[in-house]
Structure 1
Amino acid sequence: MVSGANRAGTVGEAVAVESDIPSGGLRWAWYGLGVLLMTTLFAFVVRQMLSLIAPSLQTSLGFTDLQLGMLQGLGMAVFASVASYPMGWLADRFGRRLILALGVACWSLATALFALQSGFWGLFAATIGIAVGEAGLAPIVFALIPDLFPERQRNTANFIFYGGSLLGAGLGMALGGAMLQWIGGAQAGFPDGLAGIDAWRLAMLAIAIPGPVFFLLVLTMPLGKRVGAAAVPAVGEEAGGHDFMPYARTHWRTLTCIFGSIFAMAVAMQSGVMWFPLALPRAFGIDPTTVGVGLGTAITVATLAGVFLAPLMLRLRRANCDVDPVRVAAIFVALTPLPAAFLPFTSSPFQAYCIAGVQGALGIAASSLMPGVLQNLTPPHLRSRVLALLGVVNALALAASPLAIGAISGLIEGPRGMLQAITIVSLPSLIASAILMAFAPGPYAATLRAIRPQLTKELL
């Protein structure tokens, strides 16, 4: 057991490392952040392609809406949720770079195997492989950022990574749609061995090819001397503070409000991203591959708007309070149900893209504040476990949304039934998210006072 004097010395050394960072080390930190952003973009391309090829799976393999919901919900989300915490646990003990690199290898191999399957259960198994490989992405990345950056620059790195990763999601959707369009148009000129292969299979094989490159980039990514410093408990913490459950029982109101709001928002956001490629062709008779370009563009614009809205609102408040990010997030979340209510009344794909863009910008503005909020409300030695919960919550939302919409859309007749199903699921979810976030500032302030007593005067 570490004595109080030794622990104080260790913490002092960790603080000294963070407060005196050579410029060369900081350059390597920004390089590491770039590697993490590119790896996350790669993961998003794989994930978005699973949505874009949904119409092709129905055409070539005769899948029902419920089966597609199982692939995107149960296959991706449930198993990602189950694997998220163990991946975080492994990363803390055997090296975050190593586990993240193995995750890249896992989802790349599973993506290639997905293209070779012809039955539902083979595709389901390959989807599980993709989900398990990507399960540790969010908790490991947000655990690596404190390893790379000193505290004074950590929020900037969090914000850049979050905005960049979401921008990559939109770009991945657009690039995926463009790839499917190109393969579909150029397939007649391919060699005989490729000309007869379904376009969706060729697309999945193509996006698996960069896997080894990202595996090596992550595995060789340099880290600063702060690795493991965050795991050292602060001076004066009792032994029980090492356990997650005592912390969760003490601050359950804060965790319920924050994670509950994140879950409800994720359900609504996933409903549009996953089902628009199928809902818009049914409602408006357009080519499914064009939805990737249109929706990807809308997501890209929404991301750019959202990542600027959050700091702008914080600046307009002109307050220096650690609770402000939660209060600002509550404002954005409260506005998200408004555009969602108009979705069933759209008369063109452009109107649907506009609704997705406005709703997405508000949701992204709120969500971009959450990484810093979660890091602030958690003691350093518990941070990886709480960040793993973020992956679990998002994965559960990914499971709930496709299954709910797939089941509801089967009960509604007509070409606009799926648009109505998206609204039936997303609108109550957004309202619930707004209510939970509205109640969050009080419990959140109490948690900050307990963890960081020096903030007491600022929070009163």
Structure 2
Amino acid sequence: MGNAIADNDLPGSGRPVSGAAGWYAVVVLCLALLVSFTDRLVINLVVDPIRAGLELTDFEISLLQGAGFAVIFALAGVPCGRLADRANRRNVIMAGITLWSAATIGCGLAPDFPTFFAARVSVGLGEAALVPAASSLIIDSFSPRLRGTALGVFSLGATFGTGTALFVGGVVLAWSSAGLLAPIPFIGPLAPWRQLFVLVGISGLFLLPLFLLVPEPARHHRSGLLPIAGVLRRLGAGNGAVLRVCLVKGVLGIGDYALISWLPTLLQRSHGMSPLEAGGLIALSITASGVVASVGGGLLSDLFVRRWGVPTRVVLLLGCYALTIAGASTSFFAATEQQIALAFAGWALGSIGGYVIGHVVMQESVPNEMRATTIALSLTVTALLGIGLGPSLVPLVAVHILGGEASLQPAMATVSLAAALLALVVIWPPVRKGLAALRNEALRAAA
């Protein structure tokens, strides 16, 4: 097909690792992402037990969910990306796993709010190393024709990690309540929520041996690490398209974390569900939609590239963010736990699909020397806006705008809908440019 791209059309698209070695790396990195999201989000399942055990307010809990993790995650993101752009990416990831796993165990042992906050900060520092290094490694391991699919499979770790945090967390809490963990040395005497943190923290350490077989692919078309000024110039090129994708991911992250941080609590407080029931329902919702969004979004974006060229990949973000608007709007009217789960599934379908496609768009728009840095920048924005603001905005909107903590559901819907609408506005200029490229290619094919 005359308008299809060749594998060498993009920077960094020299001979890839691909094959069995490349896909092994994707699977192991996917597992690491799964564990990282589990360690990050398991706190959302035990909000009320932590609040009671440490005598905290909802706002203090929101700081542990959000800002305690997000501040250092944001500050460390770009330095970790710069490190991944010059050092062995596999080793950077292994160091991050070791740190965040130990810090998650520390969350389970924390005696008070300051100690817990410090442990959450350390979790954020360790996890800041993963996605920039992993994304850069995957891009260098595959040709442009397979990058969307490979990153989509990698992104399944976030989907399954969110579900695992809620479902497996519920299972562990059920075992703890039944006394099944009591005979385990060191863990048995701990409170159930503490046992949960210690166990999920330990699980991350078992990943380290798997990374010894992950290959470090060659970095093609490199001319040395770009200075920060050069990075900023490249990010501002093309009417700031890359910066817009970074920003829109952060804006949409506000809605992501507003929902996922408070959905388990909403289902337990307002619908009388147990932690296991709430976690299982949300896990089913996000896993089903997330698998479709991650794999389907990656495959569909690769299809667009093969048929109409690289500039048209960004067009798919328009549909993704329209789905988030529909999911957020439906959340206002969801009356049962099943309806709440369906509304969240619609949101997740659009949000996760946009995450995968946006990742590829950003990395294809910059040279090899700044790929990890670019992803790190997007994670920094997501941390500051999404993780930093999302969890805390919900109780603030509920109490100060909607009349009290009983307004948790409309507060969640309000925050997520505002985020989705703003995301659509921010992403429109590069989408419009992609639509023009799509029209031109369609006219060329017709002629």
Instruction: Report if TM-score (shorter chain) is over 0.5.
Output: yes
1:248 aligns with 2:235: yes
CA distance in 2, matches of 1:127, 1:259: 24
1:60 aligns with 2:53: yes
1:39 aligns with 2:32: yes
1:147 to 133, 140, 149: 140
Q: CA-to-partner distance for each residue in 1:233-287, whole Å, 9 max, x for gaps?
A: 7xxxxx9998112223333531343222212211111111111111222222322
Give the 3 Å change call, closer, same or farther, for CA 334–105 of structure 1 in structure 2.
same
Secondary structure of 1:341 counterpart: helix
Q: Percent identity?
A: 23
Give the 3 Å change call, closer, same or farther, for CA 15–191 of structure 1 in structure 2.
closer
1:87-236 alignment to 2 at 5 Å? 87-187=80-180, 190=183, 196-218=189-211, 220-224=212-216, 226-229=217-220, 231-232=222-223
CA distance in 2, matches of 1:360, 1:166: 9
Query: What is the letter of the counterpart of residue 25 of structure 2?
Result: G
Q: CA-to-partner distance for each residue in 1:373-413, whole Å, 9 max, x for gaps?
A: 11211122222221111211221211110121132233344
Determine the structure 2 residue equivalent to 1:338.
326
CA distance in 1, matches of 2:221, 2:379: 20
> TM-score scaled by structure 2?
0.86
CA distance in 2, matches of 1:248, 1:91: 18
| Larger-gyration structure (1/2) | 1
Does the 8 A contact of 1:344 with 1:423 survive in 2? yes
Does the 8 A contact of 2:13 with 2:143 survive in 1? no
Query: What is the letter of the counterpart of residue 118 of structure 2?
Result: A
Query: What is the letter of the counterpart of residue 430 of structure 2?
Result: A
CA distance in 2, matches of 1:270, 1:400: 8
Determine the structure 1 residue equivalent to 2:266.
279
Secondary structure of 2:179 counterpart: helix
Structure 2 unaligned residues grouped into runs of 5+: 1-7, 438-443
Query: What is the letter of the counterpart of residue 120 of structure 2?
Result: T
Mean alpha-carbon deviation: is it higher for 188-197 or for 295-304? 188-197
2:398 to 403, 406, 409: 409
CA distance in 2, matches of 1:129, 1:331: 36
Does the 8 A contact of 1:80 with 1:131 survive in 2? yes
Distance apart, 1:188 and its partner CA: 8.1
Give the 3 Å change call, closer, same or farther, for CA 191–244 of structure 1 in structure 2.
closer
1:307 aligns with 2:304: no
1:434 aligns with 2:424: yes
Secondary structure of 2:146 counterpart: helix
Query: What is the letter of the counterpart of residue 389 of structure 2?
Result: A
Give the 3 Å change call, closer, same or farther, for CA 96–446 of structure 1 in structure 2.
farther
Does the 8 A contact of 1:254 with 1:443 survive in 2? no
Secondary structure of 1:18 counterpart: coil
Determine the structure 2 residue equivalent to 1:329.
317
Distance apart, 1:162 and its partner CA: 1.9
Determine the structure 2 residue equivalent to 1:71.
64
Structure 1 unaligned residues grouped into runs of 5+: 1-10, 234-238, 448-456
Secondary structure of 1:93 counterpart: coil
CA distance in 1, matches of 2:304, 2:219: 37
Secondary structure of 2:19 counterpart: helix
Determine the structure 2 residue equivalent to 1:454.
none
Q: How many positions carry a matched residue from both structures? A: 429
Give the 3 Å change call, closer, same or farther, for CA 142–243 of structure 1 in structure 2.
same
Could you say what the CA RMSD is over the residues aligned between the two structures, in angstroms? 3.2
Give the 3 Å change call, closer, same or farther, for CA 282–165 of structure 1 in structure 2.
closer
Give the 3 Å change call, closer, same or farther, for CA 330–29 of structure 1 in structure 2.
same
CA distance in 1, matches of 2:110, 2:153: 38
> TM-score scaled by structure 1?
0.84
